[in-house]
């Protein structure tokens, strides 16, 4: 499931992309996308949610996050493919 938030800066509402990539409004189900609600959303049928009209501004998919840390677990594989040192 691919999540998004849409609307004016600071007033974004939660959304999900359906199978065809259309934005569906989640604000009638959850007030915002946060850790405690994410576990229940996989049971949701995106096609049952209202479509978001037009082309609204997209914001960060989750709110209240100070830092996002990522790690590329396959970095050494890519380095080897390029003949570079990891």
DSSP state letters, 25-80: E-TTT-SS--HHHHTTGGG--GGGSPBPPS-PPEE-SSSS-S------TTHHHHHH
pTM score, whole prediction: 0.70
Which pLDDT tens digit goes with each residue over 57-77? 999 887 777 777 776 657 777
Which pLDDT tens digit goes with each residue over 20-64? 999 999 999 988 887 777 777 778 899 999 999 999 999 988 777
How is the chain split into domains, by residue range? Answer: 2-82
């Amino acid at each position: 499931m691919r999540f998004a938030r849409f609307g004016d800066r600071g007033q974004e509402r939660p959304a999900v992309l359906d199978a065809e990539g259309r934005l569906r409004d989640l604000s009638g189900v959850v007030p915002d996308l946060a850790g405690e609600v994410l576990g229940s959303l996989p049971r949701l049928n995106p096609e049952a949610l209202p479509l978001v009209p037009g082309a609204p501004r997209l914001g960060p998919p989750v709110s209240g996050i100070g830092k996002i840390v990522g790690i590329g677990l396959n970095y050494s594989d890519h380095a080897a493919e390029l003949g570079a040192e990891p």
